[in-house]
Chains A and B, each alone.
Chain A
Amino acid sequence: MTFSARRIFAILQKDYKDLSRNLYVTTTLFMPLLMAALFGRMGMGTISSYYIVINMGFILVATYVQSALIAEEKEKNTLRGLMLSPASTMEIFCGKSLLSFIATAVVVTGSILLSNYNPRNMAVIAIALLLSAVFYVGLGTLIGLFTKSVMEASVVIVPVMLIFTSGSLLIPLIEKYPVLAVVEYMPNLQLLELADRVETGAGLGDTLLHLLVILAWVLVIHAVAAYVYKKRMVDE
């Protein structure tokens, strides 16, 4: 498998020009920042409130923008052009994910600053956020591959947003319904638990298990996305 920086940056540059002229998707980028500013001014200083905003950023930017980018390529029949070019699956995946990833990094950093969140161990939080961003971009790729249009992706994102921003609401129900214990392993809850532990003084070693769980999600989501992508290369 080849890895050409020229091809990856060409796809990134194309996506940037395309997205910058797509008002429908670009306005979405400002939503998490507005929420963060609002939360910051309201003085809601709990870890879970910070992570509602951060997860919102992940879902609206990493997942939604990414799914819109992929779904639009499918809707307009341009994805097949990329698939038929010499670019490898890895190059197309990286090129198509880079813009969403950069936008997520900018929006999540902005959200952290606007909401006045100052974690006790920034390095551990940065690693966890980085891994989470990669996961949510992968989730967006998968949604984009399954949906047929940007409009469909916009509908599918709603339940995804509910699951990944309010999963913590299910935690009190775990005692009553043990089957819901699996919810604790969701990447958003792992991130929240890690952030809570960091505030109690935990370091990298203490939070490694949480990071590994998020990493496992990253690997699984990208493997599934790659499988679906390869299936989409061939018509039924």
Chain B
Amino acid sequence: MENIIEVTSLQKAFGASRALKDVTFNVKRGEIFGFLGPSGSGKTTTIKILTAQLKPTAGSAYAFGVSTEQLKSEKYRQKVGIVTDNTALYGRLNVYDNLKLYCDLYGVPYQRIGEVLRMVNLAGEERKAVSKLSKGMLQRITLARAFLHEPELLFLDEPTSALDPVNTKHIHDGLLHLKEKGTTIFLTTHDMNEAEALCDRVAFLNNGEIRLLDSPKKLRQQRGEPTLTVELADGSMVIVPKGPEGADQMFRYMSTGQLVSVQSNHPTLGDIFVEVTGRKLA
């Protein structure tokens, strides 16, 4: 599959502090790529370099086959959607007027406003003044704005950090819908459940370095125990080997109606992150 983002030996220093040390990765067209790391690990710096808001100290970053510097041009801006902490809304205007401005800037018909508001669970809120919205609603409007022009490549920096579980689910459904339509999504998050629910591949970033990169499923399988935890009707938990040696035991639990639930003994992405970096995601 074609790479839509290619990053090689990327480095960024702010004075003596090195935010990115030697970062190399690629993002394939149509995938959701998760960039996971705690605060200060270099996630936002990477997004800013990829969206031409920051110049790298060394290394290269390409998107659509051109240097990210060229993403400043209209041709590429039209293909890209960005939600970061420095893309805000106009507080004195209502929701509709905020989105209408971006419809005009991107050449999108106004009926898209209703569609994107439904995607972020804010249908019918068009006339509300932005200054009166909660932090979570503001975050959803910012996301709706990025969805307006159905970008080929969407950069999302902690897109659900201020949302409750119901609205997070809505946003996740919206992102999966965009992915189905072919949008490539570069997502930074420190929410492991979000990464597991959405991402085709994830990179663990710590202190400006990628420590691990693979699909969440593979990462968990590679580090899993070859056992299952079985919950029985009497409330006890039993560890059963996954191989043929455990088959008789499992058959016995099933045939006697003792089996309540079975869980594979894989670590969570959070566990793996702590194992690899020695740091918790927070």
**Could you say which residues of chain B place their CB within 8 Å of the CB of A17?**
92-93, 97
Determine, out of B1-9, B72-80, B111-119, B156-164, the stretch whose residues face the partner at the interface. B72-80
- Chain B CB within 8 A of A27 CB: no
Which listed residue (B52, B55, B88, B105) contacts A76, Cβ 8 A?
B88
In the complex the two chains form, is B88's CB within 8 Å of A77's CB?
yes
- Interface residue? A162 (CB, 8 A): no
Contacts of A14 in B (CB 8 A): 90, 93, 97, 101
* Total chain B interface residues with beta-carbon distance under 8 A: 30
B55, A7: Cβ atoms under 8 Å? no
Q: B105 and A10: CB pair below 8 A?
A: yes
Whether A156 is near chain B, meaning CB under 8 Å from some CB there, is no
Nearest CB to that of A80 among chain B residues? B86
Given the interface pairs A18-B92, A18-B93, A21-B92, the reply to whether A81 lies near B54 with Cβ below 8 Å is no
Query: Contacts A77-B86, A233-B53 known; A22 to B105 CB distance under 8 Å?
Result: no
Q: How far is the CA of A88 from the CA of B78 in the complex (A)?
A: 12
Q: Please name all residues of chain A whose beta carbon is closer than 8 Å to the beta carbon of B89 when the two chains form the complex.
A: 78
B103 → A minimal CB distance (Å): 8
Within 8 A of B (CB), among A138-160: none
Q: Is the Cβ of B91 less than 8 Å from the Cβ of A86?
A: no
Shortest Cβ distance from A77 into B: residue: B88
Say whether B107 faces chain A, with CB atoms less than 8 Å apart: yes
Closest CB pairs A-B (n = 10): A10-B104, A77-B88, A86-B77, A85-B105, A86-B74, A21-B92, A86-B78, A81-B87, A14-B101, A77-B86
19 A–B contact pairs at CB < 8 A? Answer: A6-B107, A9-B104, A13-B101, A14-B90, A17-B92, A21-B92, A78-B89, A80-B86, A80-B87, A84-B82, A85-B77, A85-B102, A86-B74, A86-B77, A87-B74, A87-B105, A234-B53, A235-B48, A235-B54
Chain A interface (Cβ within 8 Å of chain B)? 2, 4, 6-7, 9-11, 13-14, 17-18, 21-22, 76-78, 80-82, 84-88, 233-235
